[in-house]
Chain A
Amino acid sequence: MDKLTENKLFESILSEYKGIFFKVAKTYCKDEDDRKDLLQEMMVQVWQALPKYNSDLKLSTWLYRIVLNIAISYYRKNANRQKTHQIVDFGSTDFADIQENESNQNLLLLEKFVNELKDLDKALIVLYLEEKSHLEISEILGISTSNVATKVQRIKEKLKQKFKK
């Protein structure tokens, strides 16, 4: 892949899949500053991995793997890592938390419940809510499709129970 194609592909990834970056970052990182740092890390890793991208793999599968891997690893980074000198400009990005009003009540609840899950369960439920097939989830996570089905069912039940309360 030449430089120009790489740049174009990267730009299209950012515009087409920016929701993936932001939703995963929001799921794994509550602090706004840390979230910006995490988002930058995700973008840097995607950019660096681009030359090795194999088109046999679905672009979204490849992207979810990187973004989720970085989000899960992020908490183990050195807390003293320099945050100055941001490479990515976030422009007019709205990082504000969702306002608590009636229409957002359920969304806030969902956010809260997902936040209570373990890191690997979070990844699974994010992929489920993003309407990924069991096959794609299994390819992203590296577990069997039957295992995906069992786990999704279990977490879904948990979520439903929480909403009932």
Chain B
Amino acid sequence: MEDLELKQLWTSYNAKLDVSIKINQKIAENTTELRVKSLLGSMKPTKIALIIFGFLWVIFIDTIIINTFGIASVFFMVSAIIQVLVTKLAIGLYIYQLIMIQQVDTSEPILITQEKLSSLKTTSLWIARISFLQLPIWSTFYLHNGLFVLENVLPLVFQAISTFTLTYLAIWLFLNIKIENKNKTWFKRLFDGKEWNPVIQSMELLEDIKEFRD
């Protein structure tokens, strides 16, 4: 099939489009509603809710840290500080995503807009990476000096094993959750689900964009 035939074939599509569209009056009157309904706008409410929840959690943990400083065990204190730092980093990334959403302009060239949108989506992976770093603290925050006595040797061995395992897992996940591993079985299992599909697809699109530019 020659170029001209292909184009003629495509043009015949027009004849098939028996369409008449009329725009509801709301489109001219209620732009606020449109903004909420829009694709990008729909990404904002969840992020704003997560930021608010995160802030409340940080205030709660910070208050506990300040009020129990010097009283609570050093294990609790260190665990709480690590947890709150990780949460603050995650909040920072959510704020970054919100700023990026504001900057997306759909009238920019396709590759520029798609790169911004895909990068925005894949920062969710960074939030996952950082969040996994807090794994070990859930096995340490309840410890105190009184537990470290000879009678507790066996439970302490189990404690040490679980803390080291969680620490290893947290560091391993932090280092390995990246685009390059998206086809590995563990990665697919870990990020299996509707909420992660857009992130995975964005990672694929980022690769396509790179290839498309070459």
Task: Please indicate the chain A residues that have their CB under 8 angstroms from the CB of B28 in the complex.
Answer: 3, 7
Determine the residue in chain B with the shortest Cβ distance to A76.
Answer: B198
CB-based contact B107/A62 at 8 Å = yes
Contact for A140 among B1, B110, B208, CB less than 8 A: B110
- Which 10 pairs, one residue from A and one from B, show the smallest C-beta to C-beta distance? A142-B109, A129-B10, A76-B198, A142-B111, A163-B1, A94-B18, A69-B106, A91-B20, A69-B113, A93-B19
B21, B197, B198 interface centre (most CB from chain A within 10 Å): B21
Query: On chain B, which size bracket covers the interface?
Result: 35 or more
Contact for B106 among A66, A85, A141, CB less than 8 A: A66
List 26 A-B pairs, Cβ < 8 Å: A7-B28, A48-B34, A49-B106, A53-B107, A65-B107, A65-B108, A66-B107, A68-B110, A70-B39, A74-B39, A76-B121, A77-B39, A86-B24, A87-B26, A89-B23, A110-B10, A120-B209, A129-B7, A130-B10, A131-B7, A141-B110, A142-B108, A142-B111, A143-B111, A159-B1, A159-B6
Mostly, the A contact residues are: helix
Task: Please indicate the chain B residues that have their CB under 8 angstroms from the CB of A75 in the complex.
Answer: 198, 201
CB-based contact A119/B208 at 8 Å = yes
Query: On chain A, which size bracket covers the interface?
Result: 35 or more
Task: Please indicate the chain B residues that have their CB under 8 angstroms from the CB of A9 in the complex.
Answer: none
CB-based contact B110/A65 at 8 Å = yes
Task: Please indicate the chain A residues that have their CB under 8 angstroms from the CB of B184 in the complex.
Answer: none
CB-based contact A18/B21 at 8 Å = yes
CB-based contact A140/B21 at 8 Å = no
CB-based contact B37/A87 at 8 Å = yes
A29 in the interface (beta carbon within 8 A): no
A98 in the interface (beta carbon within 8 A): yes
B22 in the interface (beta carbon within 8 A): yes
Task: Please indicate the chain A residues that have their CB under 8 angstroms from the CB of B121 in the complex.
Answer: 76
Interface residues of B in 167-205 (CB under 8 A from A): 194, 197-198, 201-202, 205
B33 in the interface (beta carbon within 8 A): yes
* Min CB gap A15→B, angstroms: 9
**1/0 per residue A7-37: CB within 8 Å of B?**
1001100100011001100100000000000
Determine the residue in chain A with the shortest Cβ distance to B202.
Answer: A76
Determine the residue in chain B with the shortest Cβ distance to A81.
Answer: B42
Interface residues of A (CB under 8 A from B): 3, 7, 10-11, 14, 18-19, 22-23, 26, 41, 43-45, 47-49, 52-53, 62, 65-66, 68-70, 72-81, 85-94, 98, 106-107, 110, 118-121, 123, 129-131, 139-143, 147, 151, 156, 159-160, 163-164
CB-based contact B39/A73 at 8 Å = yes
Task: Please indicate the chain B residues that have their CB under 8 angstroms from the CB of A85 in the complex.
Answer: 37
Task: Please indicate the chain B residues that have their CB under 8 angstroms from the CB of A23 in the complex.
Answer: 13, 17
CB-based contact A89/B198 at 8 Å = no
CB-based contact A41/B23 at 8 Å = no
Determine the residue in chain B with the shortest Cβ distance to A95.
Answer: B19
B31 in the interface (beta carbon within 8 A): yes
Determine the residue in chain B with the shortest Cβ distance to A127.
Answer: B110
B151 in the interface (beta carbon within 8 A): no
Task: Please indicate the chain A residues that have their CB under 8 angstroms from the CB of B14 in the complex.
Answer: 19
Task: Please indicate the chain B residues that have their CB under 8 angstroms from the CB of A106 in the complex.
Answer: 1, 9
CB-based contact B213/A143 at 8 Å = yes
CB-based contact A88/B27 at 8 Å = yes
- Rounded to whole angstroms, the CA-CA distance of A38 and B145 in the bound complex is 61
B35 in the interface (beta carbon within 8 A): yes
